[in-house]
Amino acid sequence: MLQKTISSLEAHQRVDKYLRKYLSQAPLSFIYKLFRKKDVKINGHWVKESYILNEGEELTVFVTDEQLKEFNQPRKIEKISLNHPIVYEDENILIINKPRGLLVHGDKDEQRVTLANEVLNYLYYKGEYDPNENQGFRPAPAHRLDRNTSGLVLFAKNLVSLQQLEDLFKDKEEIDKIYLALVKGHLDEPMMIDAPLLKDEKSGLVKISKLGKSALTRVEPFKYYDDLSLVKVQIFTGRTHQIRVHLSSKGFPVVGDGKYGDFALNKEFKDIYKFDNQFLHAYQIYFKKIGGQLSYLTNKTFIAPLPKKEEEILSKLGK
């Protein structure tokens, strides 16, 4: 039988989500069968899966010792410092300048090297996270960034901060995220791109389609390099490959984009600059009026400098 007092780190979440993390190796069918059989109690009272946990409550789950041993297996992490630039850190959040080529999230079995796992190692190294003590919550990224896009990624160290950041990124009313992209062509003036996007699940490619989900992107010129433009991009919806597809549709493909870009230009950059990646970087995050636990972030701006390789390319183009 599982008996546990809910800690401050584990509170403020649905009890079924807590159990999905605590019994991480259990099938979902097993988790929800516990609720149907009324085998999950808080302070001695049966609760439904939607119940929100509070600090100090006593959780009881009627499982056998064998099931508990089988399904409760904390992930293996090591005490390792973080090798990537930390843009900002406090007791609630961690902002990292992610290099291109690194996954933010892992696969189902968490076998690959990911930024999320490296952050867990780092926080374990600092003594701020222990997988054996806090199995109902683990620090996590509040948003996604493509493997081959570099730049800012925000992590939350506690559940309240994670929920608030996720809401901010979802609503996009009180947070602005700006990207830098080097594109083919000369963008003369700012433009808004309002075009729905549809993803082909088989190929993984995205295209503009009336059948797709709404997508809105703002682009403005920043610097010019002959027939290339360095542009600032702001997205108001978070669709897959949104920036790359929208820019390409307007005749301004991102340099190095292997799916939607100009392949001749990509080859030129590979031959001349040894650059074989999309030139897209999550450059800046600005918090507007923020309430709650993260209210101290109001009017704060965080910037991640371009990677060294991209800076070198721009320097050479400028000459």
What is the token pair recorded at 35? 């609720």
Q: Is 222 exposed, middle or buried (0-12, 13-18, 19+ CB in 10 A)?
A: middle
Residues 85, 302: Cα–Cα separation, whole Å: 13
Residues 289, 303: Cα–Cα separation, whole Å: 18
The verdict on whether 257 is a catalytic residue reads no
Catalytic residue, chosen from 39, 146, 167, 176, is: 146
Residues 143, 164: Cα–Cα separation, whole Å: 12
Residues 242, 280: Cα–Cα separation, whole Å: 12
Cβ neighbours of 205 (radius 10 Å): 14
Cβ neighbours of 168 (radius 10 Å): 23
| Residues recognised as catalytic | 146
